[in-house]
Amino acid sequence: MVITVSTNMARATPLLGHEGPFGEQLGMTAHNDIRFALLSGSLVGGNALLRAYVWHCIGIPLIVIILNGGALLENPQGWRHFWAAIISIVHLLFN
């Protein structure tokens, strides 16, 4: 349900969604907007669920690493603390 709601909201993204401001002027349709890219198609299905899983398990941690890269490089214990925090959050969410 979360994927359905969030991708429906993505349709109204300015410039990138076909229902958002300037989407029509930029040639956005239901088959080439940000919602289509997030779902790998027009419907929520297996591809969308797999894409969401990979994004949350690989994509978001990589973005956090990139944004915190300077701090993690300065402090060698930073990497251990970072992954300990990620594991703790996952443990809290799924237990």
Q: What is the pLDDT of residues 33-74, one digit of tens each?
A: 888 887 877 778 887 788 778 877 888 878 877 777 667 667
Helix (H, G, I), strand (E, B) or coil at 82: helix
- CA–CA separation, 26 and 6 (whole Å): 22
Domain ranges of the chain: 1-44, 46-95
- CA–CA separation, 72 and 20 (whole Å): 38
For residue 48, give every residue at least 6 positions away whose Cβ sits within 8 Å of its Cβ, in sequence order, or none: 3, 7, 38, 39, 40, 41
Residue 92 has pLDDT above 80, yes or no: yes
Question: How confident is the model over 5-34, as pLDDT tens digits?
Answer: 888 888 888 988 888 898 888 888 888 888
pLDDT at 63: 83
The CA-to-CA distance between both ends of the chain, in Å, stands at 20
Amino acid identity of 63? I
